[in-house]
Amino acid sequence: MSTALPPWSGSHLLLIGASHRTAPIELREKLDFSSRGLASALKELAARRSSREAVVVSTCNRSEIYVACDDVEPAREDMTRFMCDFHRVSADLVAPHLYSYVDVEAARHLFKVASGLDSLVVGEPQILGQVKDAYSTASTEQRSGPLLNKLFHSAFAVGKRVRSETALAEGAVSVSFAAVALAKKIFGSLTGRRVLVVGAGEMGKLTALHLKSHGIAHLAISSRTRAAAEQLAADVGGVFVPWDRLSAALLDSDIVITATGSSTPILDRRRVAAAIPASRTRPLFLIDVAVPRDVAADVGELEQVFLYNIDDLQAIVRENLQKRGAEIAQAERIVDDEATKFAAWQRARGAIPTVVALRQRFESIRRAELERLEPKLAQLSPEARVKIDEITRLIIEKLLLHPTEQLKAVDSPDAVTQYADALGRLFALGQPDIDRQRGGADQPPLDLRGSAEAVAKAETASPAREAETADVSSDASTTGSQRPTSAGRPPPVDSERS
């Protein structure tokens, strides 16, 4: 009879994605999941069945899919097809710009994302909240499970450590700050300039706050969401501009920074050209930090109009990197430390089915022997029988403690499989009839997938239980009508086999 254990489902972590490091903004716009909603993407992913768990992360600079899968290569191919199918983009256009990581390297990448190390502007504080939102959506849609739950909670811990143990996020380091820095490079000083911020979301709010401290003469805020724009204008001492007055506001501005969540451009060539008369002599600088872009690319072809998008912030990024070199090194050490911990957890997880089956086998034998000795145990007091039950449980835990720790520490998946096969043969794992064949009591078949309780025990076995065993043994030696032996142990109930 075969003794092979079933594979642990969802054992591999796979990431596939595109970001500002691999894809131009024109393609990132096409791969933006937020335009159709993360929930919609997760529902379509669930129908493909190549993954058991999934989280979709979509920000202005990246589109990434994290999945738990049994077989990496088929899942990788399917996720690539999904990326193309969902966004209606040809594989020839997308594939050269995609990256893919597996297991610990996928975890390391997410940890860098959550800590701001992989951001366009290093140390960007907004990204951790966006990662949390992505995980929350997957949880709501019931698409996260044991592997991705552990992964993302670990990522949150990494982000928190980097912010508390390094100065990586000190000061203004967001994309909105980079936009303001770019504006300063253009004009040298913002003193006396008239600025229009289009968008009252998080990015627009941060941009307005940064601008407030640079001595600008006039700050206007416009958004489709009137209440949000009015509140932001009040908070920063600016002026609210109704959405239908946006074109007029363009004429009155030196700098326009757009940061809306629109899926299509809000400023096209015709609208901007109509708002700027030929008699205008001063230039208009448009800084578009939105993805998808708020300003059509051909707007930059107009006379006296200078258009910059998020990819033009690279010079700011390079300066940021130079200033934060030491902090980056410390943050990367934190990422490596947490990635090592995650890898150890994932290796241990591969051994859990065998550990669970082994514990269930020992527990099956323990129950069978207690039932066989029931006529002899009946003469003991209820307290003594409870202690005997607990003592036998703790003995099993002690016997299995070292094998469990050693099996969970094995690095190679092949070695785990070999050990699992050997243990299966030695202890007849997967053979529920073995106790009946040997004269034991009938027992229910073993569930080799493992209950939640069994999995928890397998993952948290601790030497601390040894002390508990000693304490319980001592208590049991004085319970009931049996007198303790000179060694302080309860006498055997009966050494005979019935």
Catalytic sites, residue numbers: 60
SS3 (DSSP) at 13: strand
Angle at 28 between CA 22 and CA 29, to 5 degrees: 165
Dist CA 157 CA 110 (whole Å): 12
Dist CA 70 CA 52 (whole Å): 8
Torsion of CA 253, 259, 263, 269, to 10 degrees: 20
Asked whether the beta carbons of 348 and 448 are under 8 A apart, the reply is: no
Dist CA 486 CA 287 (whole Å): 87
Asked whether the beta carbons of 67 and 56 are under 8 A apart, the reply is: no
- What is the distance, to the nearest Å, from the Cα of residue 357 to the centroid of all Cα atoms in its chain? 30
Residue 106 neighbours by CB under 8 Å, 6+ apart: 13, 14, 15, 66
Dist CA 63 CA 66 (whole Å): 10
Closest CA to 214 of 247, 257, 246, 245: 257
Other Cβ atoms less than 10 A from the Cβ of 356: the count is 26
Asked whether the beta carbons of 50 and 1 are under 8 A apart, the reply is: no
* Helix-then-strand count for the chain, H and E: 20, 10
User: What are the CB-based long-range contacts (under 8 Å, 24+) for 157-162?
Assistant: 157/338, 158/111, 158/114, 158/115, 158/334, 158/335, 158/338, 159/114, 159/115, 159/116, 159/128, 159/131, 161/115, 161/334, 161/338, 162/115, 162/116, 162/117, 162/331, 162/334, 162/335
Runs of H (alpha helix) within 438-485: 452-460, 465-476
- Residue 185: CA atoms inside 13 Å, Cβ hemisphere, count? 13
Torsion of CA 17, 21, 25, 30, to 10 degrees: -10
Q: At what angle do helices 382-408 and 465-476 cross, to 10 degrees?
A: 160
Backbone angles phi, psi at 481, to 5 degrees: -90, -5
SS3 (DSSP) at 204: helix
